[in-house]
């Protein structure tokens, strides 16, 4: 159902018997204790106890989720009634013990996972206008709710943690899709690009370690012509006394891209590219905000990209690693 205030996904029982007069204000739904009692087929005392526990355990902040509304009773008189928003409804739904509560949890868990993983609730224009702070609050609520009630597996928990920790990437991905990613002003020095001999020594160490673990063949890391020296020269190149890539982030992004796409080695270009990317950041005392899984995803994204996507991928990498400060 679509309203001027936004999109609303309604819960309906399998038999379709559930019918509630829902207050839709400030882009969320509001139910009274009585309505929640009807929804979950429990008495108001039980619902009230769950709500008290939610606030006592500081799962939600009471001031942010409670609102007073004027309602008209069956006798025609108006009364001031306390209503609770969707955050409370979801939390009560996960706590209440009833067949209806179980049905609700199955429905809510499915919908919440869809919203987290596929981003159904994150409208692009809304994200662009209101920024990431509001989206982080949504993600925190949904991931915490699923985790607190142990409704996800270990793998699922890892996915939720990734989504929660990388909330800013929702904004970056929107800008990526729109080809509007800016290059952030980091103010960092240009950084030192290692010499070919240093890189060869590092790659040799990587090869020996991988061979010992049975994760590489003898051809891993062997250079093809002068490709490596050409890439390092391209990363450090300058014009009229100014570096072409003036910051640590821009140099690191281009180093990663060139090694993956130009194939300077006979085997292992993706692994060596990510290794040299991290090595360069380490040499320049710069911590990367990209973890192991994020590094894999970024490497594969670059490897499968089309040549015309180079600039937007470079800007994406620069944005991802410009979130931290130098040590």
Encode pLDDT of 3-44 as tens digits: 334 344 444 555 554 444 444 455 567 888 988 888 888 899
Which pLDDT score is estimated for 147?
Answer: 56
How high does pLDDT run on average in the chain? 75
Which pLDDT score is estimated for 144?
Answer: 60
Rounded (5°) CA angle 234-235-238: 75
Which residues face 243 on adjacent strands? 238
Which pLDDT score is estimated for 18?
Answer: 46
What is the residue whose two structure tokens read 């142990």? 150
Distances (CA, A) of 124 to 1, 140, 163, 175: 19, 19, 17, 9
Which pLDDT score is estimated for 12?
Answer: 54
CA atoms of 44 and 50, how far apart (whole Å): 10
Encode pLDDT of 211-221 as tens digits: 998 988 889 99
Q: Flag the least confident range among 68-82, 154-168, 303-317.
A: 154-168
Which pLDDT score is estimated for 93?
Answer: 83
What's the average model confidence in pLDDT over 245-260? 93
Kindly report the pTM of this predicted structure.
0.49
CA atoms of 277 and 267, how far apart (whole Å): 17
């Amino acid at each position: 159902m679509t309203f001027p205030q936004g999109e609303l996904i309604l819960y309906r029982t399998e038999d379709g018997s559930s019918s509630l007069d829902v207050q839709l204000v400030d882009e969320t739904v509001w139910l009274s204790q009585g309505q929640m009692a009807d929804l979950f087929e429990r008495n108001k005392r039980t619902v009230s106890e769950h709500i008290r526990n939610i606030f006592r355990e500081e799962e939600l902040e009471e001031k942010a989720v409670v609102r007073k509304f004027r309602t008209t009773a069956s006798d025609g008189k108006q009364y001031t009634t306390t209503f609770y928003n969707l955050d409370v409804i979801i939390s009560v739904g996960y706590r209440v013990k009833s067949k209806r509560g179980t049905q609700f949890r199955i429905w809510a868990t499915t919908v919440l996972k869809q919203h987290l993983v596929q981003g159904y609730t994150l409208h692009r224009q809304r994200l662009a206008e209101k920024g990431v702070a509001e989206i982080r609050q949504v993600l925190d609520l949904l991931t915490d709710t699923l985790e607190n009630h142990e409704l996800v597996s270990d793998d699922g928990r890892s996915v939720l943690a990734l989504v929660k920790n990388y909330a800013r990437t929702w904004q970056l991905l929107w800008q990526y899709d729109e080809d509007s990613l800016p290059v952030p002003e980091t103010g960092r020095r240009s950084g030192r690009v290692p010499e070919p001999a240093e890189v060869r020594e590092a790659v040799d160490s990587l090869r020996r370690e991988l061979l010992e673990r049975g994760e590489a063949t003898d051809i891993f890391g062997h250079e093809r012509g002068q490709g490596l020296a050409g890439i390092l020269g391209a990363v450090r190149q300058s014009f009229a006394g100014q570096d072409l890539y003036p910051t640590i982030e821009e140099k690191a992004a281009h180093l990663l891209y060139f090694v993956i796409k130009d194939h300077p080695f006979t085997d292992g270009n993706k692994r060596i590219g990510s290794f040299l990317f991290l090595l360069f950041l380490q040499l320049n005392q710069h911590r990367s905000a990209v973890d192991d899984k994020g590094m894999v995803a970024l490497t594969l994204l670059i490897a499968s990209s089309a040549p015309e996507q180079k600039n937007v991928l470079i800007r994406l990498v620069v944005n991802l690693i410009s979130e931290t400060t130098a040590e």
